[in-house]
Amino acid sequence: MATVIIDGKEIDVKAGTTIMEAAKLLDIYIPHFCYHPKLPIAGNCRMCLVEVEKMPKPVISCAMPVNDGMVVKTDSEMVRTARKGVMEFLLINHPLDCPVCDQGGECSLQDLAMKYGPDRSRFHDHKRHVPNYDLGPIIETEMNRCIHCTRCIRFSEDVSGVEQMGAVYRGDHMQVGPFVESRLDSELTGNLAELCPVGALNFKPFHFQARGWELKHADGICSHCSVGCHTRMDHLDGRILRVMSRSWNEGNETWLCDKGRFALDGLANERLTAPMVRASQGGELKKVSWPEALDQAAKILKSVKPEEVAGLASDAVQGGEELFAFQDLMRNVLGSGHIDHRLRQRDFSADELPLTRADLLMNTPLASLNGADAIVLVGFDPRFETPILNIRLRRATQAGARVVSVGARKLNTNLLNVTEVVVAPGGEVARLNAALQALDHDEACAEDPVAALLKGAKKPVLLLGEGANVHPEAEALRRVSVALLDKVGGIGPNWNGYNRVAARANAAAAQDLGVVPHRGAGYTRLERMGMNASQILEAAASGQVKVLFLLGVDPLDEALDRDLARRALSKARVIYLGAFYGSAAQKAEVVLAGLAPGERPMTLTNGEGRVQRSARAVNGPLEAKEDWRILRALSDRFAAPLGYNDLEALRKKMAASDHRYDLSRLGPGESAMACDHSPVTRGLPVTVSAAAESGAAMQLLMVSSFYRDDPVAARSKVMGQLARDGRLRIHPDDASGLAIVQDGLVRVLSGERKIEVRADLDRRVPHGVVIGDLGRGENATRELGDYSNGYPRVSLVALPG
């Protein structure tokens, strides 16, 4: 501990704390440009100079650690003179084009110039001119404004691990920019513009859209993946124009990924603006009044037996409110137990077991991941499933943690110390089981990369990602993962390293609030299990389910088996409640126009099981309504309507079924607890089926396309520019054997099904495997997928053209 006196105020701080941080604790603001709490110290701007008693020269407070007994003055004559000098230097070569600068009004340089800058320039010589760069769809540059603070460089090197930004030349010719002009190859580029204290790096999509001071702000929670980053939605005239990060130390710190920040333009595309009804089969959708639409929906629902109705919900765009009300309506008003949100899942065998919340979610809080010393990724591509979680893992690896990734493909990773164990598709269970056995034998253990990593680790973590969650033997894989971690003491009261990371923002809320066929809200057991997503689609296609009620979900975009989804939607009568006009609305008889994220208050439960609330920023289309109110109004047309008339009452009901949703117990500024759940179920038997035989044909692995994988992102033009989807990835060696060339057209056949797609040669694809994405559009590889056949065998024919 050290006691320091800053501006006459005394404080005890940990030894090694900098003057800047100590001052912060005292609420003393020291002006700065290059200092950033989450980046390595550079100490180059010199704005933060302070006077320290007994030191002849001013010192930089951002880098100088305090000593016991130190007396600091942050506003003495010496300090003011120093600041004025620095300010003048920063301004001489600055273009001072604030009136046309996006940063105007929110600029550190502008703000501090008001306080310390000269009102007249003494500089009459030549101003520097610096070239601009095209850095891709996210960042707009105006490098004349750069003040060389190197925040962007430090972020690129330290946080994103993509060393593309740097400084070339020296002295006042120094230029900050990419070493080689090219688009920034990172999922975190937006942070550069947010970090840049001036208007040198700006958001391209926001360029010239508004002045900072005109914007209104609403606190949001990102709904694009299960990290649940804290955002600030900046809006003007009913449109969200920009998403900024809100600082949240336990989660996103001050970062956001490019999807979370820039998918928002998708909110404005293909919107449903009013309720509609289709007069006849195959007829046109016509705008109608709300009562008419709801009457029609009720009529359809009443025309069949309760068990002939099934509901599917989106866990990406719907809030906990709608999810809760939806299952409430399905079960208690319509009397059907067929409800699910897991359209990507193949293995539902775990539904028979009373799995706990801990089994299904993360158990290591995001904030603790930095401390892990051994990391096992199972079917998980953290960088392109949960980018901000990936930053935590990267921090752990920077501190020395080692990583083994077990999966059917190689990752494009920025983690350090990674060993990739690539298995044949589906081979993960056997692989992990071998590691489990190896733990018993020293020799085998040393040779098995997973066992060797885990043995002796003090804080091991194992993370199951999308590749594990959609695995044909997902439950076996989950169990062997638990067993493995348990064996090395990784699941205990003090450290729990077992994590099942969902890809979708609100998958946890859907689990918690009973949007599954085998459990009610709050993990209550049901007398009778309903049908799961795959069964629902089968039943709809066969005519057993006659009405499909879709909440925000478009099965053609979401289901693993698109062909089945198409058959289901054309056979059953469809009621669609949601915000977007897609293939589901195209097929629906009744379309109920709901709202999108940002337009309604919503509860989002992140991967850690942390219940969070996102505020409403803007109003949706004039005639669209808050989704849960639509459900509530619909229920009025039945014998026992839903028992809540306002948001408060609904949230009380949610809280009553799961105490974690009772946020009234939180004090101001407190956030809900992460990993607030009972222990992981241990000791379940591990089963390993015979390894799939590798045949002559190639196997198709389908992965989701990170930038396009939810209804909003899928409609975003910016995401379209970032995504590299819609292609079949194949190893160049395999390709050359089949005469397939880069960008060449390939016919892909799997049984009866076939598609044509362009090829992308990629050395990361294992031999004997082709990787397609679960994309949208007509020729998506997902046309070839089905629920039972895990990794379809396909044959490829190169086509001319």
Examine residue 531 and tell whether it contacts ligand FES (CB under 6 A).
no
- Amino acid (one-letter) located at 5: I
The least CB distance from residue 540 to ligand SF4, in Å, is: 31
The least CB distance from residue 793 to another protein, in Å, is: 49
By beta-carbon proximity to another protein, the closer residue of 57 and 129 is 57
The least CB distance from residue 200 to ligand SF4, in Å, is: 4
By beta-carbon proximity to ligand FES, the closer residue of 152 and 700 is 152
By beta-carbon proximity to ligand SF4, the closer residue of 151 and 729 is 151
By beta-carbon proximity to ligand SF4, the closer residue of 34 and 421 is 34
Contact assessment for residue 320 and residue 513, using Cβ atoms and an 8 Å cutoff: yes
Name which position in 48, 366, 559, 728 contacts ligand FES (CB under 6 A): 48
Name which position in 137, 190, 260, 775 contacts ligand SF4 (CB under 6 A): 260
- With b for 16 or more beta-carbon neighbours within 10 A and e for fewer, the 387-417 pattern comes to bbbbbbbbbbbeeebbbbbbbbbbbebbbbe
Considering only residues 191 to 220 of the shown chain, the ones binding ligand SF4 according to CB under 6 A are 195-198, 200-201
Considering only residues 581 to 620 of the shown chain, the ones binding ligand SF4 according to CB under 6 A are none
The least CB distance from residue 149 to ligand SF4, in Å, is: 4
The least CB distance from residue 46 to ligand SF4, in Å, is: 9
The least CB distance from residue 145 to ligand FES, in Å, is: 17
Q: How far apart are CA 300 and CA 461, in angstroms?
A: 49
By beta-carbon proximity to ligand FES, the closer residue of 112 and 423 is 112
Q: How far apart are CA 305 and CA 337, in angstroms?
A: 12
Q: How far apart, in Å, do the first and last CA atoms of the chain sit? A: 71
Examine residue 86 and tell whether it contacts ligand FES (CB under 6 A).
no
Examine residue 766 and tell whether it contacts ligand SF4 (CB under 6 A).
no
**CB proximity list for 701: less than 8 A, separation 6 or greater:** 408, 409, 425, 769, 770, 771, 772, 791
3-state secondary structure of 142: coil
The least CB distance from residue 372 to ligand FES, in Å, is: 31
Considering only residues 758 to 797 of the shown chain, the ones binding ligand FES according to CB under 6 A are none
Examine residue 43 and tell whether it contacts ligand FES (CB under 6 A).
yes
Examine residue 196 and tell whether it contacts ligand FES (CB under 6 A).
no
Examine residue 147 and tell whether it contacts ligand SF4 (CB under 6 A).
yes
Residue 92 binds which of ligand FES, another protein, ligand SF4, none (CB < 5-8 A, kind-dependent): another protein
Give me the residue whose beta carbon is nearest to ligand SF4: 260
- C-alpha dihedral (30, 36, 38, 43), degrees to nearest 10: -100
Contact residues: another protein, CB under 8 A: 41-47, 49, 56-58, 60, 63-65, 81-82, 84-86, 88-90, 92-93, 122-123, 125-126, 128, 147-148, 167, 169-174
CA 422 vs. chain centroid, Å, equals 25
Residue 198 binds which of another protein, ligand FES, ligand SF4, none (CB < 5-8 A, kind-dependent): ligand SF4
3-state SS record for 482-514 = HHHHHHCCCECCCCECEEECCCCCCHHHHHHCC
**How many helices and strands in the chain, by DSSP H and E?**
26, 34
3-state secondary structure of 54: coil
Contact assessment for residue 172 and residue 77, using Cβ atoms and an 8 Å cutoff: no
Examine residue 47 and tell whether it contacts ligand FES (CB under 6 A).
yes
3-state secondary structure of 684: coil
- Site residue total, ligand SF4 (CB under 6 A): 28
Task: Report the DSSP pairing between strands 2-6 and 71-73.
Answer: parallel
DSSP 160: I
The least CB distance from residue 456 to another protein, in Å, is: 21
82, 93, 25, 40: which is closest to 59 by C-alpha?
A: 82
Q: How far apart are CA 366 and CA 371, in angstroms?
A: 10
Examine residue 45 and tell whether it contacts ligand FES (CB under 6 A).
yes
Contact assessment for residue 341 and residue 320, using Cβ atoms and an 8 Å cutoff: no
Name which position in 176, 339, 393, 702 contacts ligand SF4 (CB under 6 A): 176
The least CB distance from residue 91 to another protein, in Å, is: 9
Contact assessment for residue 796 and residue 747, using Cβ atoms and an 8 Å cutoff: yes
Residue 35 binds which of ligand SF4, ligand FES, another protein, none (CB < 5-8 A, kind-dependent): ligand FES
Q: How far apart are CA 105 and CA 111, in angstroms?
A: 8
Alpha-carbon torsion (339, 342, 346, 352), positive or negative = negative
Residue 219 binds which of ligand SF4, ligand FES, another protein, none (CB < 5-8 A, kind-dependent): none
Rg (CA), the chain: 28
Phi and psi (nearest 5°) for 655? -65, -35
By beta-carbon proximity to ligand FES, the closer residue of 46 and 145 is 46
Task: Report the DSSP pairing between strands 698-703 and 71-73.
Answer: unpaired
The least CB distance from residue 310 to ligand FES, in Å, is: 59
Examine residue 388 and tell whether it contacts ligand SF4 (CB under 6 A).
yes
By beta-carbon proximity to ligand SF4, the closer residue of 132 and 645 is 132
Examine residue 39 and tell whether it contacts ligand FES (CB under 6 A).
no
Examine residue 62 and tell whether it contacts ligand FES (CB under 6 A).
yes
The least CB distance from residue 45 to ligand FES, in Å, is: 3
Q: What is the largest CA-CA distance in the chain?
A: 88
The least CB distance from residue 30 to ligand FES, in Å, is: 8
Examine residue 34 and tell whether it contacts ligand FES (CB under 6 A).
yes
By beta-carbon proximity to ligand FES, the closer residue of 20 and 221 is 20
Lay out the sheet containing 402-407: strands in order across: 418-422, 402-407, 374-378, 460-464, 498-500
Examine residue 319 and tell whether it contacts ligand SF4 (CB under 6 A).
no
Q: Is 587 left (phi over 0), alpha (psi -120 to 50) or beta?
A: alpha
Which of these segments, 9-17, 38-46, 325-333, 533-541, binds ligand FES (CB under 6 A)? 38-46
In the structure encoding, which two tokens stand for residue 453, read together? 């990593």
Examine residue 489 and tell whether it contacts ligand FES (CB under 6 A).
no
505, 515, 594: which is closest to 341 by C-alpha?
A: 515
Examine residue 48 and tell whether it contacts ligand SF4 (CB under 6 A).
no
Name which position in 387, 522, 552, 578 contacts ligand SF4 (CB under 6 A): 387
Name which position in 257, 293, 547, 746 contacts ligand SF4 (CB under 6 A): 257
Contact assessment for residue 755 and residue 780, using Cβ atoms and an 8 Å cutoff: yes
DSSP 231: E
By beta-carbon proximity to ligand SF4, the closer residue of 387 and 460 is 387
Name which position in 191, 368, 386, 506 contacts ligand SF4 (CB under 6 A): 386
Which of these segments, 80-88, 254-262, 567-575, 769-777, binds ligand SF4 (CB under 6 A)? 254-262
Examine residue 46 and tell whether it contacts ligand FES (CB under 6 A).
yes
Residue 88 binds which of ligand SF4, ligand FES, another protein, none (CB < 5-8 A, kind-dependent): another protein
Contact assessment for residue 340 and residue 516, using Cβ atoms and an 8 Å cutoff: yes
Q: Which residue has the tokens 């950033």?
A: 36
Q: What secondary structure does DSSP assign to 298-335, as a single string?
A: HHHHHTS-GGGEEEEE-SSS--HHHHHHHHHIIIIIS-
By beta-carbon proximity to another protein, the closer residue of 172 and 636 is 172
Burial class of 747 by CB neighbour count within 10 A (0 to 12, 13 to 18, 19+): middle
Which of these segments, 41-49, 428-436, 600-608, 665-673, binds ligand FES (CB under 6 A)? 41-49
Element (H, E) at 406: strand 402-407
- Amino acid (one-letter) located at 473: E
Interaction site with ligand FES (CB under 6 A): 32-35, 43-48, 60, 62
Interaction site with ligand SF4 (CB under 6 A): 146-152, 176, 195-198, 200-201, 222, 224-225, 227-229, 252, 256-257, 259-260, 386-388
